[in-house]
Structure 1
């Protein structure tokens, strides 16, 4: 039925007429937006609801007369650009605030006419819609720019360096006795960095908003250890042990969600084994931590606690250090299995969990083929998380308020015990 309607339409209305109407419609949309802008500001601005459709028709006509040849279209583009240069010069002479938005929109309108004649309807429509979005969101985009510092832009640049510059050029093949794959190794770094960077951005967006539990949720997704130490130090300044101990338990719960996500991405078979125990531990920790935190009757923590400075998770040195540690763990796991068997892997899990649990977990996902069964890998990961929780409890006891430290050690040790118990039920 749709094809029949299209055929009838093409028979009743010539394609050239449809193209002209489409050029006029798209160009009119840009002209309408620019006319509204000129009316609101009251200052000189190039063009409006008549000028932009005319520019679109010029682009269409040149494409038609030149049969789509590039040189005539380029000459027409240069002619329109010259007129835009005169318009901009006039702005500079008459106003202290001179922007190029209208002039650039005019060049885009010229291209719309040429694209429609050449049959690129989707490209022309996408160009106009994108232009309208950018033009209408001027205030929002300018406000967004003021919210990001040069350090934030540098952080985003580093993220792009890690993901779209370094990763694609690495060879995707195994090398040496330990079957080290540079691409997969860096992909692990990218995955960890992406999760941390997403949490980093959320923390920047909501800084100063929400309570300590929101800090724990977002910080735990970023790094539960870093968040635990930060909360422990802030607990010294307040007298709210239940609130801080509960928040620290919530951050630990987010560690399980983070780990389950990463394991599922890099080793789905291992992820299927761990998704239920880790999901259960995460739910229990977040729920229990929230309830424990609500027992406190103390006042809300100071703004300085909620607006703590979040460190850049994407420093190149940190990424290289993580990659090196990941490779070391892969090698240690290989030798632990070769000489000590499962007991060696479990011992290594307990030791590595004291420091940073992420490299060990990711190392197990890549070394799973060497294990006697996936159950060994799942058990090792739960042991590492249990060890990490005990270590965090000791950190709080060392850096935090004494009552907060005692409560956190008990809560995190209980969580560790649950992790160990669950290892006996893994199939």
Structure 2
């Protein structure tokens, strides 16, 4: 029975890969030969080759595999002479042979996992072409710069503490720069390929990955230009602010797991309050037409801003260390409130690095919540200043709920 199950799985794998290849060939009018039957036979050949490996000799399996490779090379030569220079089907055929051998040896879960990945990659050809066709030279170069930063510069930064209070570390500062620049790059990609035409709520959520403050400014101005869009703009602003609280959890999870566990429930209260009021305003809004590009795309990889962020992170690290040592709890809270005016990420990462060492865990949690509330009040001020009268009403309601949830979160963490 086990043998029959493995045969059935092998045939299923060959059938799935062959079905995708045959459909793709028919759609492109390709002159390739591989389809459902061919791939099923290739998987069975790999299955039988595995039997020969165990019963006779590994050399027999090697000869069969070499024959498959020669067959695929011949196939590629033929299709290339017909004008089709793609190598995807030939490589998939070799994969199918190997998958058949894996199934014979009982590695069914691994074989199915590889098959799923292979089929997804094969079937995404047209989507990948569409995406690649939209990539500009600047976006490509910025992606290469990020890879160079991540693989060729960051690993060689010294991992030693230095400076006042021994809290600065080049490796940790580089890690912060890498994460923030990477987050900006991801946010840029999502914003470009999702866009506002997928819905204002998604636009706010995606924009919140980059900067909730920037989203607040952009949509507040938009509401003043066209007051009929005020409800939708309020939805985008509050959605971005809700995502900001998730960023707090992400940073604490990365830099201080113990602090993450302490903040999880209080921050979730703030997040759920923000998400709830966002959904409420979104559901109550009237149908509004949205421009396709509400969030202006800037640079894909803003290394200058990331380096500035790294400097801010270092300064806040020193500021919080000084306040905690010389001014006590009150000084730490004041410095957190001031830091939260401009940005929540830097103070969150800085406090996460100090929590449990120079900073008591509870004080660290309260500091981050104070910074979050401070940042929320600033964004409410921006929205009220730059937005329409209708937007002001929505933001007072929305941020009032978020502010109340923040106060509750402070009492819980205390």
TM-score bucket of the superposed structures, by smaller chain: 0.7 to 0.9
Distance 2:8 2:203 in 1: 54
Residue 276 (structure 1) aligned to one of 265, 271, 285: 265
Structure 1 residues 45 and 211, CA gap change in structure 2 (3 angstroms): closer
Alignment pair present for 1:347 and 2:334: yes
What is aligned with 1:253? Answer: 242
Q: Which runs of 5+ in 2 are unaligned?
A: none
Alpha-carbon offset, residue 196 of structure 1: 5.2
Farther off after superposition, 134-143 or 276-285: 134-143
The higher-RCO structure (CA 8 Å, 6+ apart) is 2
TM-align CA RMSD: 4.6
What TM-score, normalized to structure 2?
0.75
Alignment pair present for 1:286 and 2:275: yes
Residue 239 (structure 1) aligned to one of 220, 227, 238: 227
Structure 1 residues 134 and 425, CA gap change in structure 2 (3 angstroms): closer
Structure 1 residues 21 and 361, CA gap change in structure 2 (3 angstroms): closer
Q: Deviations over 1:137-176 (max 9, x none)?
A: 4444444544555555556555545555555444555445
What is aligned with 1:364? Answer: 351
Higher Rg of the two aligned structures: 1
Contact 2:208 2:240 in 1 (8 A): yes
Contact 2:249 2:260 in 1 (8 A): yes
Q: Tell me the SS of whatever aligns to 1:309.
A: coil
Q: Which runs of 5+ in 1 are unaligned?
A: none
Distance 1:110 1:396 in 2: 61
What TM-score, normalized to structure 1?
0.73
Alignment pair present for 1:303 and 2:291: yes
Distance 2:42 2:236 in 1: 62
Structure 1 residues 43 and 228, CA gap change in structure 2 (3 angstroms): closer
Farther off after superposition, 157-166 or 121-130: 121-130
Residue 383 (structure 1) aligned to one of 370, 388, 397: 370
Contact 2:321 2:358 in 1 (8 A): no
Farther off after superposition, 275-284 or 147-156: 147-156
What is aligned with 1:266? Answer: 255
Distance 1:349 1:370 in 2: 17
What is aligned with 1:328? Answer: 315
Contact 1:259 1:361 in 2 (8 A): yes
What is aligned with 1:87? Answer: 78
Contact 2:376 2:399 in 1 (8 A): yes
Distance 1:21 1:281 in 2: 51
Structure 1 residues 23 and 419, CA gap change in structure 2 (3 angstroms): closer
Distance 1:87 1:76 in 2: 17
Farther off after superposition, 28-37 or 382-391: 28-37
Q: Deviations over 1:342-364 (max 9, x none)?
A: 22222212221221121011101
1:172-183 superposed matches below 5 A: 172-176=159-163, 177-183=165-171
Distance 2:40 2:402 in 1: 66
Distance 1:335 1:411 in 2: 35
Alpha-carbon offset, residue 203 of structure 1: 3.6
Q: Deviations over 1:345-394 (max 9, x none)?
A: 22212221221121011101111235553232222222222222222233
